[in-house]
Structure formats: structure tokens, C-alpha cells
Structure 1
Amino acid sequence: MLFSKSWNLFLDRALYLIVIMIIGAAIGIAGVLILGLLFGGSLFASFKSGAIDPVVLSGAGVLLVLLFGAFVLFVSTWINGSIYSLISAKQKQEIGESLSIGIKHFWPMLWLTILNGLIVLGFTGLFIVPGIYIGVAFMFVYYVHFAEGARGFGALMRSKDLIKGNWWNVFGRFLLLIVGIYAVAILLMLLGELFNAPLLFSVVSQLFSILASVYAMAFSVEMYHELAASKGVHKPEVVGRQWKYAVLSIAGYLMFGLIAYSAGSMFVKLMSSIPTDETPDAEQWQEFLKQIESENGNSNFEGLQDALPVLN
């Protein structure tokens, strides 16, 4: 039943969703090219001519990278908002309407994405499994935002409340979908090798990946509607819950830091324990200093030569 509902939604919205994806990709590529030609070309010309101080040039390069990042972030957040708006709507939206809604929801979407990412990454630091659990629990945050109007932490908690008691059911269904998608992708790759047409099947595989991602979104939103219908619409309780997630996320980041520090310490110890024949001994240093002394015609290195035996 869920797969058939998802298929019907896919057929109804797929074309519009793909058009929005193409629009987003075109805007992103065009913007990056324009920024690169306008600013990157000027910086490169200044570097070649030496007309700008290197420090100023480095600062301008950093600003250019930040500008690129801000532009890509804006376009991706806007287009994602438009896509989630279109797929979550009860009635099919026009492309222009979805793009307009995506712009209006830019800041709530950005904040929700940052909050979601920080918590999931923090929980992942608590030995992976909590990150997987909370990632599935927050699977419906964007659908909740557009379908119910919940924002920020409230949207996260609403998604978690919907999945409460249904975690394994949701995880199993989505895992089954992912396995099916990967199985078809592998089959297409094998067919490309079998018929000696890897380029053709590579294009077909890319098209399938786009269609599969759209179907996965339709599948997810139908799961959301199913859970929302069974549990009803209600405002989630958020008071006091923020601190628990904040503390656990911070603990995860501290664990990441501890693991990184331990790994770094072990690496340093390992490298220091490896003997190397490339390190010059005292005799080699003495020969080197004698050569310098003969070339400079002085004996300023005699004291240092006497001290070199301690290096052994």
C-alpha cells in the first residue's frame, strides 16, 4: 500500500521536482562561473602581475571562497525548501509557487538544517549508534515544517514523536527501499559491462539515480502522512528537552575531540619510534661543518664540532 501510494505521488510530482532540481543546478553553475570570472580572474591577473600585496591577495582569496560558499549555501537551501514544499503539499503546486515558497522559508530551513546536523553529528560521536537512531528519528523534520508549520527544535521533536514506537518499522522500510535502489544500480553497472556499453549505461544509471531520489522523497512523505494520521496533529513538548539534546550533543563533540587527540598522540609515538637512516649522525655533521669552514676560510665552528659527539 505504501509503495503504491508513493508511486502515485511520484508520477504526479516527479516532473516538477526534476525541473526544480535542474533550475537549481543551472543557477548554481551559472553563479559560480560568474563569480569565478569576475573575481577569480581579477585575482589571478593581479597575482601574475604582482600588482597586489601577497597578504591582501590571500585575504581576497579567502573572501572569494567564503562568497562561493555563501552562494552555494543559499541556492541549495532555497532549492531544497522548494522541493520539500512541492512534495509535502496536499495539492500539486506550480513550479513558480514552489520556488517562491522556498525563498520565503529560507531562514527557517537554514536554521532547521543547522540544528539537525549539529545534533545528529553530536550523537554520532557517542559511538555511532545514537547518531543512526537520532538520524532516523529526525527523518521527517522538513515534511513536518512544511505540512504543519513547525520550526526549529519543535519540528525535530515532532518528527521524533511521530517515530516513537515505530522506529524499527520506519528504519526497516527505508532500508528495504535503499537496498532495492542499490540493487538496480548494480544491475545497470553489470549490464553496461556485459554489453560493452559502459558510457550508455552510466548515463542511464545517472538518470535512474535522479528518479530514485525523487521516489525516495515520495516514499518518505507518504510514511510521514501515515504516521501523522495515526498519531494526530499536536504541538510537541519542547520545554526542558533542548537541554538534554544539547548536553548529549556536546558530549559527542567532546568524544570526537578525545578520539582525535588519542589518535594524534598514537601517531606521534609511532612516528617517533620508527628509526631512520636519513638522520645525520655526529660524524656527518662534522664533515658538513668542515666543508663550510674550508669554504669560508674561518674556524668559527670548532666549538660546535667538539660538542657534536654528544649527538651520538
Structure 2
Amino acid sequence: MFQYECPECGKRNSLAQQAAPGKKIRCAGCQAAFTPRAETLGLKDEPLPARPAVAKPGTARPAAAKPAAPAAAARPAAKPAAPAAAPPPPPPPPPPPNSRVYEEEDANPYGVLKETEEELLLAEKNKPKFGDVADKFKKSTRGPASALLVLPTNLLVGEGSLTGIAGVMLVIVGLWPLIFTDASPSDEEYAEQLVWIFGGFVLLLWGSLVCMGASKMQNLESYAWALIGSVMGIFPLLAGIFAIIALRDPRVIAGFEEVEGSVDGEDEDEEKEKEDDEEDEEEDEEEEEEERPKKKRKK
């Protein structure tokens, strides 16, 4: 603890650290700023030198007597200050610049990487070939056949519907005079009206068969019913002609043959017989291969 005496009021000001030389201190009592002198500096436990008399206002201040050299030498030396703190270690040198970072920064992220000739050759060699796989299985013929039959079947359905509606109208015309009449009709009138009713039922049945043949044709279910519906569709609007032409197309015939039970004939039976024969031949070959090593052992 260091104490400094104010020259104005004589109050001792205590400081925790030694005041820097030439630095002014403000007194806590009179608020006067003063510079600590060498003779006023000391420790708390050391006796302070004699204070010079303060001159009253209006009187001349006597000159301060200089302290004698022997007295100054006899005074004990001040307590040595604490050693200065060791300087901080120098910072480590900066790391060398990473050339890879600069290369990555300079690289264009939107650049296109070009493959070398060797890589292109390897890619062509290892490229899978789908030609053999695509040709390995038989292509379906139902799609092309259905596409060719769209227009003819629509025409047949329209003609069959109109024919059926016409038949219903004829039945109504034939029944109307027989039901909604005041007097009972004669036998001749009955006969005439029955002709209209019978004709109406025939047209209704005709239109129904045409529509059924068109349905079988569109779904590739039965070639026979498709042909019957097409022939019946010639009357009365001639739509069956287009259907017959479409049914004679080889692509349409192949589509019907692909569907099981659509084409009447012995083709399916022959195919089944061939498959059975092939299976029997394979079984016979396997049995012969099993018997060969047995015969060799016996010899």
C-alpha cells in the first residue's frame, strides 16, 4: 500500500499501486490535483519526512530547504518493485498456404469433365446389350389386332343399337292399336299388328346379335362370333363390310390365335400334342443318361 500526502490540505491518500512518475493524483479531501514528490513517496509502515509549513494567505511562502544529502542516504531504501511479468511467447508462425485450396477455389463448379479415350472404350465394351434380350421373347400380337378393330367394332355397336331401337319401336307400334282402342279389333287387324310385332322382335334380336359379335371382336374372344356379327351387320347399314375386311387381316387373325379358345380348330390340340411329345423325349433322354454309367460299371 502506497500513501501520498496532499501539499494543500495535508491528507494522506492511499493507493494500491505505486504512482507513475509525473502522473497527477487527485486528493480525496480537497479535490486538488498534485504530483507526488520523491520525498512524499513511501510505504505505509515507514515514517514520512517532516512536512513544510504552509504559508498563510497574504504572507510570503519561505523557500523550501533542500534535504541534506546524508539524511537522504541514511533513509532506508524503498521496497523493490515486483519483477515485471515475463513477455508473452511469440505467436506461432502462420501455416504455409495450401495450394489445393486455391485450386479448388479457382476450379469452375459448372465445368464439364471430359472422359478420356480409354474410358470411352471401356464404357462401350461394358455397355449392356439389350438386343438379344428383346428378341428372346415373342412379341404379343393382341395390341396391333385390337388397334385395327377399334373402328369396325364401333360401327357394329352403333348399327346394332339402332337396329334394336327400331325393333322396340315396331313392337310399340304393333301393340298400340290392340291395347289403346275402344272397340275390339277384328281378326284381320290382329294379323296385321302381329306382323309388326314379330318384325320388331326380329330387329331387336338382330341388333343384339350384332352387338354381341362386336363385343367378341373387340375383346378378341371368339373369331366365329366376330365373323357372325360382321355378316349380320351388313344389313341394314352395311357396317359389317368394314368388319369383315378387318377380320381378314393377318395381324388380326394372329391376335385371335394368341388368345386361348378364340379360334376354332385343331391348332391348339396340335400344339398341346407337340408339347407333350417334347416332354416325353426329354424324360427319355434323362433316363438314358442315368443308365449309361450303370452299364459301364457292369462291364
TM range (shorter): under 0.3
Which is helix-richer, 1 or 2? 1
The higher relative CO (CA closer than 8 Å, separation ≥ 6) is in 1
TM-score between both structures, scaled by the size of structure 2: 0.26
Which is strand-richer, 1 or 2? 2
TM-score between both structures, scaled by the size of structure 1: 0.25
